[in-house]
C-alpha cells in the first residue's frame, strides 16, 4: 500500500489481523468441503450439496434484506430461472462441454437481465419499500405459472429430469458446491466491509440522506438486484447439475420465503449467520423429515416467529453481542487518518447568479403555499430566510432541492433549470442540503458517514476499507472545531444531538457544494454550539465563496451572520434587503408581533 505511512499502527494491525482471520477461516472451510466427503455418509453428502447451494441464495437475500433493507421473496425465482435455463438447454439442444459452458453463461445472464427489469420495476424515485416486496412476490408467481404453462418446453408441473450436465459424481458436486459457497461467502464478506459495501447499510438507514449526498440510490439498488440475480442464477446452474432435476417448486415464492426464514434465523446482516442458518436448517429438515416431518416444520415456524419478535437480528446477534466490541461504545482517537484534500471544483462555474428563482409557486389543490417568489443568490452571500411558522420556508427549501415539487415558475441553479430533476441530480449541480432534524446514518461510524458524502465524487472501493479519509479543508475544520475528529470510529447513534447536527453539516460541506441550504441548523443547540456553527457558516461564505441559504427563527443569530435577509409571510416574499433594512422595518415587527396582515 502506497499510503502505508499514514496508517496508525494499531489500526493497520487490526486490519491485518482481521484479514488473517478471514483467510484462515476460508482455508478451514475449503479443507472441510474438499475432505468432507471422505467422512460423510452418502445421504449427508447429497443433502449438504443442496444445502450449500441454498446457502449461496441465503447470502443474496442477506445482502438485499439484511444489509440494504429490501425484503425480497424473489431470489427463488432467479434461482429457478438459472436452473431451468440450464436444464432446458441441456435437454432440448444437447449436452457437450461447449453447451454446458453456454448453459452456465445463460444461467447467469438471463437472471441478470430479469433482475434488471425487476429492479427497474421495483425502484424508482418515490417508490415505497412495500412495493419492492410486492414485486418480489409477483415475479416468482409469474415465473412459476409460465413454467406450468410451458408444456414440454419446461416440463410443466413434473419438471425436467434426465438431461446430462457436468460429469461429476456425488462427491464432485459436493466439492464444487462447497467451493462455490466459500468463494461467494468470502466475496460477500469482503464486499460488505469495503467502502462500497457500507453504502448498502447507508441506504437502509437513511435513503433520503443518500440521495441528498448525490448518490443515485435507485440505480444502486437496481444494480444490486441484477448482480444478485446473477449469483442466484449461478446457484441455479449448480443445482440443476448436482440434483439432475428441476421442478416448478424451485422457483416458487414459498421457497423464497424459506430463504428469508433461514436468513432471519441465522442473523440478518451478518453473511455468516444466513449461511449457517441455511445449511443447518435445510440439513436438519432433511434428516428429521423422515421421523417427525410436520413437527419439525412446526418447530422452525415457532422459532422463526419468536426470533423475529424478540431477537430480530437472529442467532448471530447473540454471538456477536458476546464477542464484538468497538461498535456500541464511544471510541476516542481511533479511526482512519484524516487527509486534507484540495477542493476539486467539480462543479462547473458559470457567470451570473448561482441560484435564480423566478415566480416560484407551490400549491396543494387550491391552497397556495408559495406564490410569486422571485429571488437571486450570488456566490459568497449568506441569505437568511425568516418568517413565522407556516410562511412556506421549508416548502421553499424542498422546491430548491427537488425538481418535482414546485407547481409553477422556474428555478435555475448555476444557470440550469431544475424542473423535473430528482435530488441527486440537483446535488450534482452543486447544492448541499442540511435538514432540520439531523439526517445522518445511525448505524455507521462518523468516518463512514463522511465517506458517504465523498462517494459521489470518488468511486469507493469494492474490496478495501480505506485507511485514510480525504476531505476538503473546510470539512476537516468543522470536525476539529466540534471535536468530531476524535470520534471518527464512533457509531453515530451514540452521538449527541448537537454532534449529529455538526456531523451533518460536515457531510454537506464534504460534498463540496457551491450552495448550502440549511433548515434551522441551530435548533436545540447550546449557545456554544450555536456560535461554532455561526463561525463556520460565516467562514464558508465570506472566505470560501459558498452561497448559503438559511432558514432560521433565532433573529439574533440571523442578525449576526447574514449578509442579506429575505422575509416570507403567508407564502409571499415580502421583504428582501440587508440586515439593517430588514431588522428595522415595520413589516417584520408587525409580522413577528402578530399584528395585522401585510
Partner 1 sequence: MTLLLDIVTTAAILFIVSAGLLAIFGVLEIVNFAHGAWLTVGAYCAVVTGGLGLSPWLALPLAFVAGAVLGGVTERLIVRPLYSRPQDAILATWGLGIIIGQLITLGFGRDVQFTENLLSGTIHILGTDYSLYRLFALAAAVAIGLGFALLLEGTRLGLSARAVIMNQSLARALGLDTTRIRFVTFMIGTGLTALAGVLLTPLTSVDPTMGVAWLIGSFMLVMVAGSSFGALAVACLVFGGAQVLVSTFISPILGGITVAVLSALVLRISSKGFARV
> Which residues here bind partner 1, judged by CB under 8 A?
69, 71, 121, 124, 126-131, 133-135, 137-138, 141-142, 145, 148-149, 253-254, 257, 260-261, 264, 294-295, 297-298, 300-302, 304-305, 308-309, 312
The Cα 478–Cα 487 span in angstroms is 13
C-alpha grid cell for residue 544? 470560501
Q: How far is the CB of 257 from partner 1 (least distance, A)?
A: 6
Q: How far is the CB of 523 from partner 1 (least distance, A)?
A: 21
Nearer to partner 1, 121 or 429 (CB): 121
Q: How far is the CB of 222 from partner 1 (least distance, A)?
A: 14
Q: How far is the CB of 304 from partner 1 (least distance, A)?
A: 4
Nearest to 34 by CA among 185, 172, 171, 175: 175
316: Cα separation from own chain's centroid = 22
Tell me the C-alpha to C-alpha distance, in Å, between residue 544 and each of 147, 512, 548.
Answer: 63, 11, 11
CA angle 387, 390, 394 (to 5 degrees): 80
Q: How far is the CB of 508 from partner 1 (least distance, A)?
A: 29
Phi/psi at 105 (5° precision): -60, -45
Nearer to partner 1, 295 or 437 (CB): 295
Nearer to partner 1, 131 or 191 (CB): 131
Upper half-sphere CA count for residue 489 (Cβ side, 13 Å): 15
Nearer to partner 1, 257 or 468 (CB): 257
Nearest to 191 by CA among 297, 60, 83, 309: 60
C-alpha grid cell for residue 274? 444466513
The Cα 551–Cα 539 span in angstroms is 18
Upper half-sphere CA count for residue 272 (Cβ side, 13 Å): 12
Nearer to partner 1, 33 or 260 (CB): 260
Phi/psi at 466 (5° precision): -65, 145
Q: How far is the CB of 147 from partner 1 (least distance, A)?
A: 10
CA angle 124, 396, 413 (to 5 degrees): 75
Nearer to partner 1, 122 or 489 (CB): 122
Beta-carbon contacts of residue 432 (< 8 Å; ≥ 6 apart): 212, 508, 509, 511, 513, 515, 516, 517
Q: How far is the CB of 299 from partner 1 (least distance, A)?
A: 9
The partner residues of 370 in beta bridges, in order of sequence, read 362
Q: How far is the CB of 289 from partner 1 (least distance, A)?
A: 12
Q: Which helix (DSSP H) or strand (DSSP E) does residue 266 occupy?
A: helix 253-266
Q: How far is the CB of 136 from partner 1 (least distance, A)?
A: 10
Nearer to partner 1, 113 or 138 (CB): 138
Beta-carbon contacts of residue 208 (< 8 Å; ≥ 6 apart): 423, 439
- Long-range CB contacts (< 8 A, 24+ apart) of 277-281? 277/58, 277/314, 277/315, 278/51, 278/54, 278/55, 278/57, 278/58, 279/48, 279/51, 279/52, 279/54, 279/55
Q: How far is the CB of 229 from partner 1 (least distance, A)?
A: 17
The Cα 48–Cα 284 span in angstroms is 10
Nearer to partner 1, 22 or 134 (CB): 134
Nearer to partner 1, 260 or 517 (CB): 260
Q: How far is the CB of 329 from partner 1 (least distance, A)?
A: 25
Using H for helix, E for strand and C for coil, what is the string for 421-473? CCHHHHHHCCEEEECCCCCCCCCCEHHHHHHHHHCCCCCCCCCCCCCEEEECH
Nearer to partner 1, 121 or 427 (CB): 121
Nearer to partner 1, 36 or 129 (CB): 129
The partner residues of 565 in beta bridges, in order of sequence, read 384, 577
Instruction: Specify the residue for cell string 475449503.
Output: 30
**Environment class of residue 316 by beta-carbon count within 10 Å: exposed (0-12), middle (13-18) or buried (19+)?**
buried
Q: How far is the CB of 311 from partner 1 (least distance, A)?
A: 11
Nearer to partner 1, 80 or 335 (CB): 80
Instruction: Specify the residue for cell string 442464477.
Output: 233
Nearer to partner 1, 312 or 408 (CB): 312
Nearer to partner 1, 204 or 393 (CB): 204
Q: How far is the CB of 88 from partner 1 (least distance, A)?
A: 18
Q: How far is the CB of 258 from partner 1 (least distance, A)?
A: 9
**Environment class of residue 83 by beta-carbon count within 10 Å: exposed (0-12), middle (13-18) or buried (19+)?**
buried
- The DSSP code sequence of 217-228 is HHHHHHHHHHHH
Q: How far is the CB of 70 from partner 1 (least distance, A)?
A: 10
Nearer to partner 1, 224 or 264 (CB): 264
DSSP helix/strand/coil, 347 = coil
Amino acid at each position: 500500500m502506497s499510503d502505508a505511512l499514514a496508517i496508525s499502527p494499531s489500526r493497520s494491525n487490526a486490519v491485518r489481523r482481521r484479514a488473517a482471520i478471514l483467510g484462515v477461516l476460508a482455508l478451514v472451510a475449503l479443507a472441510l468441503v474438499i475432505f468432507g466427503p471422505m467422512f460423510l455418509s452418502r445421504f449427508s453428502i447429497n443433502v449438504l450439496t443442496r444445502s450449500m447451494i441454498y446457502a449461496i441464495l441465503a447470502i443474496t437475500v442477506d445482502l438485499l434484506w439484511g444489509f440494504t433493507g429490501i425484503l425480497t421473496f424473489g431470489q427463488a425465482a432467479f434461482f429457478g430461472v438459472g436452473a431451468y435455463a440450464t436444464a432446458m438447454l441441456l435437454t432440448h439442444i444437447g449436452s457437450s462441454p461447449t453447451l454446458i459452458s453456454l448453459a452456465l453463461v445463460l444461467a447467469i445472464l438471463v437472471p441478470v437481465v430479469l433482475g434488471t427489469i425487476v429492479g427497474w420495476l421495483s425502484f424508482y424515485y418515490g417508490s415505497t419499500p412495500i412495493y419492492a416486496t410486492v414485486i418480489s412476490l409477483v415475479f416468482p408467481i409469474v415465473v412459476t405459472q409460465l413454467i406450468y404453462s410451458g408444456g414440454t418446453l419446461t416440463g410443466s408441473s413434473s419438471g425436467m429430469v434426465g438431461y446430462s450436465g457436468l460429469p461429476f459424481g456425488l462427491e464432485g458436486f459436493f466439492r464444487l458446491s462447497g467451493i462455490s459457497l466459500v468463494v461467494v461467502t468470502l466475496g460477500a464478506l469482503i464486499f460488505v466491509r469495503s467502502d462500497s459495501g457500507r453504502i448498502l447499510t447507508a441506504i437502509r438507514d437513511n435513503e433520503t440522506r443518500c440521495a441528498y449526498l448525490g448518490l443515485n440510490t435507485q440505480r444502486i439498488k437496481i444494480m444490486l438486484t441484477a448482480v444478485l440475480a446473477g449469483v442466484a442464477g449461478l446457484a441455479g446452474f449448480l443445482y440443476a447439475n448436482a440434483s439432475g432435476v428441476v421442478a416448478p417448486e424451485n422457483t416458487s415464492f414459498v421457497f423464497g420465503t424459506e430463504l428469508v426464514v433461514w436468513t432471519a434465523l441465522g442473523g440478518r446482516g451478518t453473511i455468516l449467520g444466513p449461511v449457517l442458518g441455511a445449511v443447518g436448517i435445510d440439513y436438519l429438515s432433511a434428516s428429521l423429515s423422515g421421523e417427525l416431518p410436520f413437527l419439525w416444520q412446526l418447530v422452525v415456524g415457532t422459532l422463526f416467529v419468536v426470533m423475529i419478535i424478540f431477537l430480530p437480528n437472529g442467532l448471530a446477534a447473540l454471538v456477536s453481542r458476546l464477542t464484538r466490541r468497538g461498535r456500541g461504545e464511544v471510541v476516542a482517537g481511533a479511526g482512519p487518518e484524516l487527509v486534507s484534500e484540495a477542493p476539486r471544483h467539480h462543479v462547473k462555474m458559470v457567470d451570473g447568479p448561482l441560484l435564480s428563482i423566478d415566480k416560484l409557486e407551490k400549491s396543494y389543490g387550491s391552497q397556495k403555499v408559495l406564490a410569486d417568489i422571485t429571488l437571486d443568490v450570488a456566490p459568497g452571500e449568506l441569505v437568511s430566510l425568516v418568517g413565522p411558522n407556516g410562511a412556506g420556508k421549508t416548502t421553499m427549501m424542498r422546491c430548491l432541492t427537488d425538481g418535482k415539487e414546485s407547481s409553477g415558475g422556474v428555478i435555475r441553479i448555476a444557470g440550469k433549470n431544475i424542473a423535473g430533476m430528482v435530488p441527486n441530480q440537483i446535488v450534482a449541480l452543486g447544492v448541499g442540503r442540511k435538514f432540520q432534524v439531523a439526517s445522518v446514518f445511525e448505524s455507521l461510524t462518523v468516518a463512514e458517514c463522511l465517506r458517504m458524502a465523498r462517494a459521489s465524487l470518488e468511486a469507493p472501493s469494492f474490496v478495501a476499507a480505506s485507511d485514510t479519509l480525504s476531505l476538503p479543508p473546510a470539512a476537516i475544520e468543522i470536525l476539529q472545531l466540534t471535536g468530531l475528529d476524535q470520534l471518527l470510529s464512533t457509531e453515530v447513534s451514540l452521538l449527541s444531538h448537537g454532534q449529529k447536527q455538526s456531523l451533518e453539516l460536515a457531510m454537506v460541506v464534504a460534498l463540496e457544494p457551491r450552495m448550502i441550504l440549511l433548515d434551522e441548523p441551530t435548533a436545540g443547540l447550546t449557545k456554544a454550539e450555536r456560535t461554532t456553527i455561526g463561525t463556520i457558516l460565516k467562514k464558508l461564505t465570506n472566505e470560501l465563496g459558498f452561497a448559503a441559504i438559511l432558514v432560521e427563527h433565532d433573529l439574533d443569530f440571523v442578525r449576526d451572520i447574514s449578509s442579506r435577509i429575505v422575509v416570507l409571510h403567508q407564502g409571499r416574499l415580502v421583504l428582501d434587503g440587508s440586515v439593517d433594512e430588514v431588522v428595522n422595518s415595520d413589516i417584520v415587527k408587525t409580522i413577528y408581533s402578530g399584528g395585522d396582515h401585510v
